[in-house]
Amino acid sequence: MSEQTVSSNRSAMAGGARARRLGSWYVAEHRLLDMRAYAQTIVATSIGNPLVYLFALGVGLASLVDANLGDGGGGQVSYLVFVAPALLAAAAVTVATEEFTYPILAAFKWNPIFSAMRSAPVSSAQIANGTIIAVALRIVATCAIYFAVMVAFGAVPSPLGVFGILTASATGVAVGVVIMAYTSTVEEDKGQMAIIMRFIITPMFLFSGTFFPLSQLPVYLQWIGWISPLWHGTELGRVLAYGLAEPIWLTVAHVAYIVIMLLGGWRAAQVIITRRLDK
Q: pLDDT by residue for the chain (279 residues), tens digit each?
A: 555 554 444 554 445 566 677 889 999 999 999 999 999 999 999 999 999 999 988 778 877 887 776 544 445 789 999 999 999 999 999 999 999 999 999 999 999 999 999 998 899 999 999 999 999 999 999 999 999 999 999 999 999 999 999 999 999 999 999 999 999 999 999 999 999 999 999 999 999 999 989 988 888 889 989 999 999 999 999 999 999 999 999 999 999 999 999 999 999 999 999 999 997
CA distance readout (Å), 104 to 112, 173, 199: 10, 14, 20
Domain boundaries, the chain: 38-277
Over its C-alpha atoms, the chain yields an Rg (Å, rounded) of 22
How many of the other CB atoms lie within 10 Å of CB of 10? 10
Contact yes or no for 97/201 (Cβ under 8 A)? yes
* Alpha carbon 22 to its chain's center: 24
- Torsions phi, psi for 216 (to 5 deg): -75, -15
3-state secondary structure of 63: helix
